[in-house]
Structure 1
Amino acid sequence: MEPRVLGSFRAALIAVENHWTWYRRNWRATAVSNFLQPVLMLLAMGLGFGSQVPVGEATGGHPYVVFLAPALLVLSAAQSAMFESTYAVLSSFKWQKTFFGVVSTPVTPAQVLYGQLLWIALRLAAGTAVFLGVAAALGAVTSPSAVLAVPFAVLAGMAFSAPVVAFTATREKPDSFNALFRFVLMPMTLFTGAFFPLDQLPAWLHPLAWATPVWHGIELARGAAFGTLGALPALGHVAYLVALVVAGVVLGRHLFHRRLTA
């Protein structure tokens, strides 16, 4: 009898169902980092520190909490993507060896990757949607078009996640993740225009910010929230983020196959 072959979409859904089975019993373990932490940041920086920031040109004529909310939406997606793309993926390779069990079925290494990325995208979508709802309740959302910031934030998070998942497939120890947090995630958090306009930084730092998915996500999210997003700039930002996702998937397919079939 010929071996059974699963379609990639069905295999990805099976992987998502597996993740969901675990998550619905253990969601409290990630509630603080995924949901509560971004809200606390909005309260502290947006309403607390922001009460001392005058409305002006630097904030686009908006109160600081309104200026900050779309950026925090993107930052929370990137931070969640980092955690979901590093330790969780390495655990499935090395400690729990979940991925090896999955590929002993008709699911292929590439389909394991697709399922993992789909699950991360769903987690980011849920987290950013909840955050946007809380931000709206706090008065930090002033336009219905801000709902478009959610898919933009998810896209930015996945543009970060896909290459990191591929990188994680090459790791045997989590030591290098510390460098990612310190020298990639932290600078992206501080120096991509989230808390203050990018033009207040030295000019030589601008190209470094432009290369990050977070900057593109913030530009899209703010443009959507404030109704200032032009079609051509939006297309450029989206194209760049999609290119990063595709590059991560292509590289991840190769690295997952090499590790899971060795």
Structure 2
Amino acid sequence: MSADALYLEPPRLETLPKLPNSVVLSFRAFRCWLLMYQRTWRASVWSSVLGPLFYLGAMGYGLGSLVDKNGTAALGGVSYVVFVAPAVLAVHSMNSGMGNALFPVFGGMHWNRIYIAAKATMLRPVDIYRGHLLFITMRIAMNAAVFIVFMAAFGLITSPWAVLLLPAAVLLGVAFATPCAAWAVTLEHDMAMNYPIRFGAIPLMLFSGTFFPVSQLPGWIRPLAYATPLWHGVALCRGLSLGTLTAGSAALHVGYLAALTATGLWFGARTYRRRLYV
């Protein structure tokens, strides 16, 4: 046997396909939630559109008719419905962020187990988290946009700065959604999801300047109100709608909400990794 016959060529190593970057993978996770929403969007019409509209009518025009009879000096000289409309927008964005981050995230782990199926793919836990947040951001933007259209249709906007109401409302909603999602993924029982709504959202709605100025609260509780994220969102939306927002206060409100969002993103990247890595 010749030496050439004994020579064996080393096997060629096939080049593995390159893994898509995190942005691409996050959008793939987002498309999964978008596909699901295309089949279930009708169930969200009431909570997303009609509920806030009726709430604005009851509080703004119903209660507002009684408030306006006693003068509007404490409201800055505007009618009560004009005063409360941007605050209801802020509350609506907060509820949209929390509602889309708590129960769907828990369901992704325990009910429909979408997260469990997603981790069997090339998606990393951080991609699953960011993709879901993209969908939550879309839902917040849709709900806020519809409400802003209603505000404009009823003549409740008095400033051209109101064109920035949509990004302000989305920022507020995402500031609540990121920490809620980061926390919800760690839960083992669904009863705990009622706590942020019962002890968080409801007190914030009542004492963050939504229905009356914070200056009417007792002096000892005002600093607590000023420290809440909803107050910053209400003040930002109201200032844009009424045209009373200054550059300094805008920077304060946006910085606070952006910092809360960044903290939620940091926290969520770690809680998702702990829960979804085997």
Shorter-chain TM band: over 0.9
* TM-align CA RMSD: 1.3
1:104-143 to 2 correspondences below 5 Å: 104-143=120-159
Q: Does 1:103 align with 2:128?
A: no
Please list every run of 5 or more consecutive structure 2 residues that lacks an aligned counterpart in the other structure.
1-14
Counterpart for residue 15 of structure 1: 29
Q: Relative to structure 2, which stretch is displaced further, 183-192 or 16-25?
A: 16-25
**Higher mean Cα deviation, 53-62 or 164-173?**
53-62
Q: Normalized against structure 2, the TM-score is what?
A: 0.90
CA distance in 2, matches of 1:49, 1:238: 31
Match of 1:60 among 76, 81, 90: 76
1:190-209 equivalent positions in 2, closer than 5 A: 190-209=206-225
SS of 1:203 mapped into structure 2: coil
Where do residues 1-262 of structure 1 align in structure 2 (5 Å cutoff)? 1-2=15-16, 4-54=18-68, 55-262=71-278
The structure whose Rg is larger is 2
SS in 1 for 2:220: helix
Flag the 1:63–1:133 CA change in 2: closer, same or farther, 3 A. Answer: same
**In 2, Cα distance between the equivalents of 1:194 and 1:226?**
14
Asked if the contact 1:86/1:168 (under 8 Å) is kept, the reply is: yes
Tell me if structure 2 keeps the 8 A contact 1:169–1:255: yes
In the TM superposition, what is the alpha-carbon distance from 1:124 to its structure 2 partner? 0.5
TM-score using structure 1 length? 0.96
User: Conserved in 1, the CA contact under 8 Å of 2:157 and 2:242?
Assistant: no
Aligned length: 262
* Structure-1 separation of matches of 2:33 and 2:266: 23
Q: Percent identity among equivalent residues?
A: 41
1:58-112, CA deviations, whole angstroms, 9 ceiling, x for partnerless residues?
2111111111111111100101111111111000011211112112222110011
Structure 1 residues 73 and 155 mapped into 2: Cα distance closer, same or farther (>3 Å)? same
Contact 1:136 1:142 in 2 (8 A): no
- Alpha-carbon distance in 1 for matches of 2:19, 2:215: 53
Q: Within 2, Cα distance between the matches of 1:172 and 1:114? A: 21
Give the secondary structure class of the aligned counterpart of 2:245. Answer: coil
Offset at residue 137 of structure 1 (A) = 1.1
Q: Which moved more, 1:143-152 or 1:153-162?
A: 143-152
Distance 1:130 1:77 in 2: 11
